[in-house]
Each structure stands twice: as structure tokens, then as C-alpha cells.
Amino acid sequence: MARRGGELEAFIAFLGGLLAVTLTAVAMTVLHVMPRPEPPLRAAALVTLGVVWLTVTVTLYLRLRARPDGRTR
């Protein structure tokens, strides 16, 4: 039976992106980038976190998306 949609893949990709952002934020905190930085550095850190989340989420979704024959990439 073929499964349609992509809700499971989207949810897994969302969680993967969330995990990547969390790990990146922890790494930034350890490197003292996040705690009380200057405004430009804080803005750059937030942009970096946004880019990491978007990139990982889209990449995971595209990798997990089911092919028409039922296989994954």
C-alpha cells in the first residue's frame, strides 16, 4: 500500500531543524557568542540560527520525501 502526503517527513524535518538550531545555539553559548553580545553580533547570531533551521529542515524534507515508487532518497 502506497502512502501519500508528506506529513511524517515534514514533521521529522521540522524536528531535525529544531535539533540543529538547538545544538548551534548551545555551541554559540559555549563560544560566548550569545550571552549579552553587541547588537550587530546578536543580529548575526539570530540570522545564523534562522539560516541553519531553514537549511536543515528543507534538506531533510527533500531527502525524506517519498518517491512515487515508494522508496526514499
Task: Return the bridge partners of 66, or none.
Answer: 72
Q: Where are the alpha helices (DSSP H) in the chain?
A: 7-30, 39-64
pLDDT at 1 over 60: no
pLDDT at 43 over 90: no
Least confident window among 3-7, 22-26, 41-45 = 3-7
Least confident window among 14-23, 29-38, 41-50, 64-73 = 64-73
